Chains A and B, each alone.
Chain A
């Protein structure tokens, strides 16, 4: 099984900050990596697919990068509505999700 490790588990940042969330795969997954945002009480929402492609309707302040085993989700200027938990998911072999990074406002 491919394991996905996200860091940090919790992150506190201020409005306007540039925020970076990390995801590491236990083996090479090329670019087969997606990012989701989950707000409290809601279902996950697709943000980024194929490591760096922005899903339709998602603000351009969200971006993804990486390949192989190391991936990053960046929010260029944090907004209050970005408070959520963020998950990465690999699809190189089956589908597995990371444990998430909970993002809060400072």
Chain B
């Protein structure tokens, strides 16, 4: 059974860096073809893909946010991470991680709400 769960700070101030963790089970990111993606959802922009990371450590980013994003993984602990620098109020959203086949997102975490406010 595949499960994923996101964790993060909940609230942070403008200009700070957001650090998110995706803890998963039921698959391994060291297995050929596996991939984990990050997606966010806000009332303003809807669903927006941010980044994904493959089993071989290949990384892909949304071009509109690429300069601010860093995705990484810890295969031995079944975790994936996302950092977003220079957070703004416009980045307030629910952030999801999902297993990524890689053409679709087949299993999603419950999401973590992140609010950016001074």
Q: Which parts of A1-55 form the interface with B (CB within 8 Å)?
A: 1, 32, 34, 36, 42-46, 49-50, 55
Q: Which of A44, A50, A97 lies in contact with B108, CB distance below 8 A?
A: A44
Q: Which of A42, A49, A96 lies in contact with B104, CB distance below 8 A?
A: A49
How far does the alpha carbon of A103 sit from the alpha carbon of B94 in the complex, in Å? 22
Size of interface on B: residues with Cβ below 8 Å to A: 21
Residues of A within 8 A of B106 (CB): 46, 49, 55
B47 to chain A, nearest CB (A): 4
Residues of B within 8 A of A94 (CB): 49, 60, 62-63
Q: Does B46 lie at the interface of the complex (its beta carbon under 8 Å from any beta carbon of A)?
A: yes
Structural contact, B108 and A43, CB atoms closer than 8 A = yes
Residues of A within 8 A of B109 (CB): 43
Q: Which of A49, A55, A87, A91 lies in contact with B47, CB distance below 8 A?
A: A87
How far does the alpha carbon of A89 sit from the alpha carbon of B50 in the complex, in Å? 14
Residues of B within 8 A of A96 (CB): 49
Size of interface on A: residues with Cβ below 8 Å to B: 22
Residues of A within 8 A of B103 (CB): 32, 34, 49-50, 91
Structural contact, B96 and A97, CB atoms closer than 8 A = no
Residues of A within 8 A of B96 (CB): 43-44
Structural contact, A44 and B46, CB atoms closer than 8 A = no
Q: Does B55 lie at the interface of the complex (its beta carbon under 8 Å from any beta carbon of A)?
A: no
Interface string of B51-67 (1 = CB under 8 A from A): 00000000010111000
B95 to chain A, nearest CB (A): 11
Interface string of B16-35 (1 = CB under 8 A from A): 00000000000000000000
How far does the alpha carbon of A46 sit from the alpha carbon of B103 in the complex, in Å? 11
How far does the alpha carbon of A19 sit from the alpha carbon of B104 in the complex, in Å? 24
Other than the given A34-B105, A43-B98, A49-B103, 14 more pairs (CB < 8 A) read: A32-B103, A34-B103, A36-B105, A43-B96, A43-B108, A44-B47, A46-B106, A87-B47, A94-B63, A95-B49, A96-B49, A97-B46, A98-B46, A99-B46
Q: List 7 A–B pairs whose Cβ atoms lie within 8 Å, in order of A's numbering.
A: A45-B108, A87-B46, A89-B104, A95-B39, A97-B46, A97-B47, A100-B46
